[in-house]
A and B are shown apart, each in its own frame.
Chain A
Amino acid sequence: GQQLNQSPQSMFIQEGEDVSMNCTSSSIFNTWLWYKQDPGEGPVLLIALYKAGELTSNGRLTAQFGITRKDSFLNISASIPSDVGIYFCAGRDFNSGGSNYKLTFGKGTLLTVNP
């Protein structure tokens, strides 16, 4: 089946720095989602993307749906300590036949922010 490669696996940054992470798939996706998981909690939806080239912001977070439809990017500007956590990408395969149950998840990027 399709796979999502998420990179980097982990990041250690200083407070105030900008962060970039990305997700690539082996097949075309028609929807991309970005989640954040705090330690001991469930993933929380940050941003949803539906069209190739779409750029969407949520506060200091900005995500883009790649024009090839095989990738997506998440940027965090001016990081703060509460940005610490695991960021997951997830997507729906274009060939999923319209089923809206199946999401493919990346393995996550662990972000550590040093105050």
Chain B
Amino acid sequence: NAGVTQTPKFRVLKTGQSMTLLCAQDMNHEYMYWYRQDPGMGLRLIHYSVGEGTTAKGEVPDGYNVSRLKKQNFLLGLESAAPSQTSVYFCASSYGGGTIEQFFGPGTRLTVL
């Protein structure tokens, strides 16, 4: 099993450009999450999904959109990138059903110039 995979691993954008980060998991997990990690800030939840076709806002959702059209995939979109969105983005998934252990992907390092 590959676990949680993320593409791309690195990306550089110019201010105002758009992009989509892809997360895929092969563990049949119900829940999926997008976090950003910034120095001194720890991990902050952007959006999450409790099942196929559902999404919800986390603590820092502004400037991001998400979609979960298939159970195994969770997409994070930036419609108009800003320098403040320079960060490392992690996707995670969990089984759901009362278990909370989250399993993380390797991350995407995004730089917005």
Binding site for B on A (CB under 8 A): 31, 33, 35, 40-45, 48, 88, 90, 92, 100-103, 105-108
Interface residues of B (CB under 8 A from A): 4, 31, 33, 40-43, 45, 48, 50, 90, 92, 94, 96-107
Whether B90 contacts A33 by the Cβ 8 Å rule is: no
A-B residue pairs in contact (CB < 8 Å), sample of 9:
A31-B100, A42-B106, A43-B43, A43-B90, A45-B101, A101-B100, A105-B43, A107-B40, A107-B42
> A residues within 8 A CB of B43?
43, 88, 105
Contacts of B103 in A (CB 8 A): 45
Question: In the complex, what residues of B have CB within 8 A of residue A45's CB?
Answer: 101-103
* Contacts between the two chains (Cβ within 8 Å), count: 51
Q: A100-B31, A101-B48 are in contact. Are A42 and B104 (CB under 8 A)?
A: yes
With the chains together, A100 CA to B99 CA distance in Å?
Answer: 7
Smallest Cβ-Cβ distance to B45: which chain A residue: A102
Known: A100-B96, A101-B31, A107-B42. A42 touches B101 (CB 8 A): no
Whether the pair B105, A42 counts as a contact (CB closer than 8 A) is yes
> Which of A42, A90, A102, A108 contacts B90 (CB under 8 A)?
A42
3 closest cross-chain pairs (CB), A and B: A42-B104, A107-B42, A105-B43
Known pairs A33-B102, A41-B106 / 13 extra A-B pairs, C-beta < 8 Å: A40-B107, A42-B4, A42-B90, A42-B105, A43-B90, A44-B104, A48-B101, A90-B102, A100-B31, A100-B94, A100-B100, A101-B33, A103-B100
